[in-house]
Amino acid sequence: MDFLKRFGRQNEAEEKADYREIHQDGKEMGEPKDEKNDAEIKDESTDSETGRDKWGSKMDFILSCLGYAIGLGNVWRFPYMCFTNGGGAFLMVYLLMLSLAALPVMVLEMLFGQFSNLGCVSVWRMSPLFKGIGFGMALISMYFCMYYNIIIAYTIYYMVASFKNPLPWSHCGNEWNSENCYTDASRTSNISATDASVTDASATDVTPFSTEDTMPDNSSKVWAAEEFWENHVLGMTTGLHDLGGIRWELLGCFWLAWIVVYFCIIKGVKTSGKVVYFTAVFPFVVLVILLIRGVTLEGAGQGIVYFIKPEFEKLMDARVWTAAANQVFISFGAGWGGVLTLASYNDYRNNSIRDCMILVSLGALTSVMAGFVVFSVLGFMAHDTGLAIEDVVRADSQFVTLETVITAIVDELSEIAPWVQKKRFFIILGTCASMAVIGLPLCFEGGIYVEQLLDWYSAGFSPIILGLIEIVVICHVYGYRKFRQDLRHMLGFYPNNFWFVCWLVIAPLLIVVVLIYTFVDYTPASLGDYSYPPWAQAIGWFLTFTSILCIICYAIYNVIYLQTGTIKERIIAASKPAPEWGPSHNAHRIEAGYRPLPGRGAKSIPGDTDTKV
């Protein structure tokens, strides 16, 4: 109780004392203001004071966040993780980790970005020593963009192939099919053949042949669709050591995907905020259609039961908890910098806590819905082939993640060359072109092994580590009391004590335990039956720690080249907020107790020209 009381709402006298101590270095400037003095700052698509883009409407922001949170992590990865970790038991742990770890990090990032109106790199004016956190977030976002776009390329490939009649993956007999190829038509024809043979046997007293004589046994059956994917689309080699040749059709789809992404974000949130009206809503429509179709398939119930039936003994398996932690951070983008970037284009007074709660609820609902869709189809496939379900299983975010990288670049360059904001499309073009070239290995016959390596390491560990460091820096280096007062001035109220308890204790503790167990019970990367060799795992770990190296290298650079004094004095100076830290608008800065920035055009309060942090 004593611990919780520390974060309880203080009385009026204590609020005034905290305000003076934190923002005025003892100089009294008045009470925190409850009223929202935003008449002076008009909401336009471009901020006239900073030259930075803003959301055209509230719905642009909501749908962009929704499109970011609802991606492959929910629709593709969640059902698989639920399948391999105890079904309903994993779902219970997933919801718990979401509530106590990922959600608090998301709320923290959203408030952090909205308060400063800065991207994931420049926002670390709060504590310049840790600016490397922002570079690390931008780096893992770049990794993600490269392999996520190859997945978009796959969808384009399938879309084009779907215009063929019959569908190339619906039948055997193609050049890429093996003798083990199997389709529903194969089963039907063999049943007919079996019936005929039984009739003949009764007349001639000859032993009837079984279906095993005309088609592969259950253990060796391979669906025609699977062979189309592995042998035709990918042309898979035997491993990462053999990349093979370029899949030219795939390369064309990959570059087309980058062209589409470029035009969708060419004007930043002005265009991406409108594109998401389709890209964020359409997946829901498709999921509902697939769900209706899936539950009507024969055998669907078997798959759904497999999905939701909890294996309670799994709750005692620490691997389930680590898997759930990885999943929530990947699904919702916590620790990636994307949520922070999206919130940085918000209106200063927006209630982002409420928005985050809505988004996470919809994201969790989508994950569960996707699970029902996937497992209803798996139940049908298991029923159709006569296999057990475990033997059947083998496999807008892009806009926001790329926007994270571009915003980080533009915000940093704007400090040196303010005209960059107006020439943003050149930065976008250069970034897209560079990543389209860097991602070429993904289009080789062995590219799927590169994609899996990136997903396993760069997306699996790095965001969790960055999320932990982010919480520690904001709450303990900058100070939770300072951050609490900042939020009070931005939102007009103190956030619920639950968030501070999570930020200070629960979320860091959970993340540390998960990380420790992840490293202790480390499982090497694999793809199907292929296990990555030690040299490939070394590459994967290097990718993981490049984001951490960003933090270490920048901290060393800052202390040595940007500070003066003894080592201790340099570290302390670099940890303190930069003079330009605070809200972007001078009207808000003055209200919150920060020194007005020169050249911003807002009027300061008479007699308070010496305000400082």
pLDDT in tens, 133-175: 999 998 988 888 888 888 889 989 998 998 988 889 888 888 9
44 assigned to some structural domain? no
Shortest CA distance to 151 belongs to which of 60, 77, 91?
Answer: 77
Helix (H) or strand (E) holding 536: helix 534-561
Task: Report the alpha-carbon distance of residue 589 to residue 592 in Å, rounded.
Answer: 5
Query: What pLDDT does residue 274 have?
Result: 67
CATH number at residue 276: 1.20.1740
Task: Report the alpha-carbon distance of residue 294 to residue 116 in Å, rounded.
Answer: 46
pLDDT in tens, 549-589: 999 999 999 999 999 999 999 999 999 999 999 998 888 99
Predicted TM-score (pTM) of the model is: 0.78
Q: Residue 510: is its pLDDT beyond 70?
A: yes
pLDDT in tens, 427-467: 888 888 888 899 999 999 999 999 889 888 877 778 888 99
Say what angle helices 103-116 and 318-332 make with each other, to 10 degrees.
30
216 assigned to some structural domain? no
The residue ranking higher by pLDDT, 269 or 43, is 269
Helices (H), 492-533: 497-501, 507-520
Q: Residue 126: is its pLDDT beyond 60?
A: yes
Task: Report the alpha-carbon distance of residue 488 to residue 12 in Å, rounded.
Answer: 13
610 assigned to some structural domain? no
- Mean pLDDT in residue range 378-387: 70
155 assigned to some structural domain? yes
pLDDT classification of 72: cutoffs 50, 70, 90: low
pLDDT in tens, 325-341: 888 887 788 888 888 98
- Cis check for the bond before 168: say yes or no (omega within 30 of 0): no
Residue 586, amino acid: N
- For 407-469, strand residue ranges (E) read none
Number of structural domains found in the chain:
1
50 assigned to some structural domain? no
pLDDT classification of 20: cutoffs 50, 70, 90: very low
User: Tokens representing 170?
Assistant: 């619906």
Residue positions in the annotated binding site? 67, 69, 74, 331, 396-397
Q: Residue 45: is its pLDDT beyond 50?
A: yes
Task: Report the alpha-carbon distance of residue 465 to residue 470 in Å, rounded.
Answer: 9
Residue positions in the annotated binding site for Na(+)? 67, 69, 74, 331, 396-397
Task: Report the alpha-carbon distance of residue 290 to residue 370 in Å, rounded.
Answer: 9
209 assigned to some structural domain? no
138 assigned to some structural domain? yes
How much of the chain, in percent, has pLDDT values that exceed 70?
74
- Domain holding 380, by residue range, is 58-170+225-575
586 assigned to some structural domain? no
